[in-house]
Structure 1
Amino acid sequence: MSDTALPATGDLTGKVAFVAGASRGIGAAVAEGLAAAGASVAVAARSEQEGALPGTIHAVAQRITAAGGRALAVQCDVTSEESVDAAIAATVAEFGGIDILVANAGVMWLAPIEKTPLKRWQLCLDVNLTGVFLVTKAVIPHLRARGGGSLIAITTTGVDMVDRGANAYWISKAAVERMYLGLASDLRGDNIAVNCLSPTRVVLTEGWQAGSGGREIPPEMVEPPEAMADAAVLLAAQNADGITGTVQRSEHLIAAR
């Protein structure tokens, strides 16, 4: 409830998590972290085979099961309501319900507005905003049926960097933060925690490196993906009596334990 409340412990035994955008980068690290904390995890993304970027849902699911966890690789295009609904249904059929959502699927475009083609602008909105809307809408009834749970949307510190201009990526993530901050109020009575989580520094994922335009990041500004995983586990353990309606920075949240 308060952004200063200490988080609950990260024991997720018996919980089921759906992680969208989990084939690589932050999503893969979060999926593996949730599984290590005891959750059964649906590893959801479009990537069933290696493509332009490394990583597949099957490889992540295999790493989880090899480590003794439970995972289901499920194909999911977050821009398609039909695909999202099918992925959620497959998860419920396999694990019996859903307690946790991590909405991580995203595409990056950091060019200034005047250098942004319409198709790139629309893609950022379709994946980063509408995609979060679709997976969130689809899982809410399942969390409600379990008596509560946790919704987590992955955002970015770039939302606050207004002194550095505007781009489609930051704008789409700002809209997600507004959606989730309002949704926390809507779902408080259903015992569902709703929070946004962003890296404190820069996580050099495959997607970031492909979409960053060659930007150089000083070593001291680089954050390991495991920090996001640890923070996600803490937020995943919340309900409406704990941390909700906040935008959290990964390393700050971990330090507050």
Structure 2
Amino acid sequence: MTETGMSGSLKGKSGSLKGKVAFVAGASRGIGRTVALALAEAGAAVAVAARSEEEGRLPGTIHAVADRIVASGGRALAVPCDVTVEKSVETAVAATAEEFGGIDILIANAGVLWLGPVESTPLKRWQLCLDVNLTGVFLVTKAVIPYVRERDGGSLVAVTTGGVALTDRGANAYWVSKAAVERLYLGLAADLRSDNIAVNCLAPSRVVLTEGWRAGGGGRDIPPEMVEPPEAMARAAVLLAGQNASGITGTVQRSESLA
């Protein structure tokens, strides 16, 4: 399955994002970093949002990503943002709108990975997945919608996972949290159609070996043919970022069907 929802057509507005403003949550590393750089290359001003202001256990900071965009001639703002804290999200979104004059695009990418079996999952890990992967998407989406509505159209994209459909491979907190995000966004597409706002989910077609995957993937060995470069997600995200409700909306897309 590559797509589901109200509108699966791959035609619609895409291409240059010049003049657009994108808020990318979880942009200090991995898929979010690659997407932020691609959006900037397509012409968007980019808010690079995450908690990572300084190097920690995993490499990557919001300042390093924003600096790279600026050094390449783009416009970027590093905004500290903890997606589990409503005030932090509201402050980061407001700072973005103030700096760039509004917001047209949301990429809700912030996430944590936990693939352990349910019976051995600590409650704190279960709650962390729901707090970051589901409530975090809810909070950034809720905060961004009024700004996108003011622009008379725009695009909201939540990064999910192909694991949602793999029910024959068991259950874990990560897949459950991402499945809930897909339901949230599929319903939201109907709510925001009259505002000319496209709402879609985007999942990798295969495994993207991000820093987070390497740290939390449970030591799984992934065959080379099952590995996807993060650039495939970036190309697909740029295409979806260029949509409004007259194009692709209400779908769950796989990266390599769009890239």
TM-score w.r.t. structure 1 length? 0.98
Aligned amino acid, residue 209 of structure 2: L
Match of 1:231 in 2: 236
Structure 2 unaligned residues grouped into runs of 5+: 1-5
Q: 2:71 aligns with which of 63, 66, 73?
A: 66
Superposition pairs of residues 43-54 of structure 1, within 5 angstroms: 43-54=48-59
Q: 1:143 aligns with which of 135, 148, 158?
A: 148
Deviation digits for residues 98-156 of structure 1, max 9, x if unmatched? 00000000000000100100000000000000000000000000000010100000000
4+ residue runs of structure 1 moved beyond 4 angstroms?
Answer: none
The alpha carbon displacement at 1:8 in A equals: 2.8
The alpha carbon displacement at 1:253 in A equals: 1.3
Match of 2:194 in 1: 189
Q: 1:119 aligns with which of 121, 124, 127?
A: 124
Q: 1:252 aligns with which of 231, 244, 257?
A: 257
Give the whole-Å Cα distance in 1 for the aligned partners of 2:184 and 2:18.
29
Deviation digits for residues 35-91 of structure 1, max 9, x if unmatched? 000000000000000000000000000111111110000000000000000000110
Match of 1:18 in 2: 23
The alpha carbon displacement at 1:7 in A equals: 4.1
Match of 2:157 in 1: 152
Structure 1 unaligned residues grouped into runs of 5+: none
Give the whole-Å Cα distance in 2 for the aligned partners of 1:61 and 1:164.
38
Deviation digits for residues 173-204 of structure 1, max 9, x if unmatched? 00000000000000000000000001000000
Q: 1:133 aligns with which of 116, 138, 161?
A: 138
Identity value in percent: 78
Q: 2:226 aligns with which of 221, 232, 254?
A: 221
Contact 2:21–2:44, Cα closer than 8 Å, also in 1: yes
Does 2:33 correspond to 1:28? yes
Q: 1:78 aligns with which of 64, 78, 83?
A: 83
Does 2:217 correspond to 1:204? no
Give the whole-Å Cα distance in 1 for the aligned partners of 2:10 and 2:208.
26
Match of 1:167 in 2: 172
Does 2:47 correspond to 1:42? yes
- RMSD, matched Cα: 0.7
TM-score w.r.t. structure 2 length? 0.97
Contact 1:193–1:242, Cα closer than 8 Å, also in 2: yes
Aligned amino acid, residue 161 of structure 1: L
Give the whole-Å Cα distance in 2 for the aligned partners of 1:124 and 1:9.
32
Give the whole-Å Cα distance in 2 for the aligned partners of 1:95 and 1:236.
17
The alpha carbon displacement at 1:10 in A equals: 1.9
Contact 1:10–1:236, Cα closer than 8 Å, also in 2: no
Give the whole-Å Cα distance in 1 for the aligned partners of 2:15 and 2:166.
31
Give the whole-Å Cα distance in 1 for the aligned partners of 2:11 and 2:87.
38
